[in-house]
Amino acid sequence: MPEIKKILVALDGSAQSFKSLQEAIYLARQCGATITGLCVLPLYTISLGKFTTSLRNQSMKEAKKFMAKAKVLSAQNGIVFNEKIVVSNHTSKISEYASDKKFDLIVMGSRGMNPLKELFLGSVANYTVHKSAIPVLVVK
């Protein structure tokens, strides 16, 4: 079994994503691994001038807020936490990022913030499990 030293956790601010973080923290403590929290913010495709910019800024502000919470939670458990926030509409962003940065494991929740999108497009977790070359732990 390969050694786990770098864990990527998909975070979106939902309770489910923080449950995933808790599992990742447990694993990181067992393996001596570091955690990187990845938040993929949606790319707004309709330009409404200042309104679109305001939505993007608000989303970024919220992401930074829950990433700071994740960092504190990790530090309280003695785990090094790095954050990465990206803007993209591609479901593949999580598995691509994990592969590009050579992570050993992806940890993510079975459901995130957008159940309506999941209903029509399929879940991000489902996509990641099927497309990732890196092992994925899905937390229910």
Q: Tens digits of per-residue pLDDT, 81-102?
A: 999 999 887 778 999 999 999 9
Residue 1 in any domain: the answer is no
Q: What is the pTM of this model?
A: 0.87
In the 8-state DSSP scheme, what is residue 58? H
Domain ranges, residue 107: 6-139
> Quick check: 89 and 41 in contact, CB under 8 A?
no
Which comes out higher in pLDDT, residue 57 or 9? 9
* 131: CATH: 3.40.50.620
What phi-psi label fits residue 81: left (phi over 0), alpha (psi between -120 and 50 degrees) or beta? beta
**Distances from the Cα of 20 to the Cα of 46, 47, 91, 121, angstroms:** 32, 34, 18, 22
Residue 23 in any domain: the answer is yes
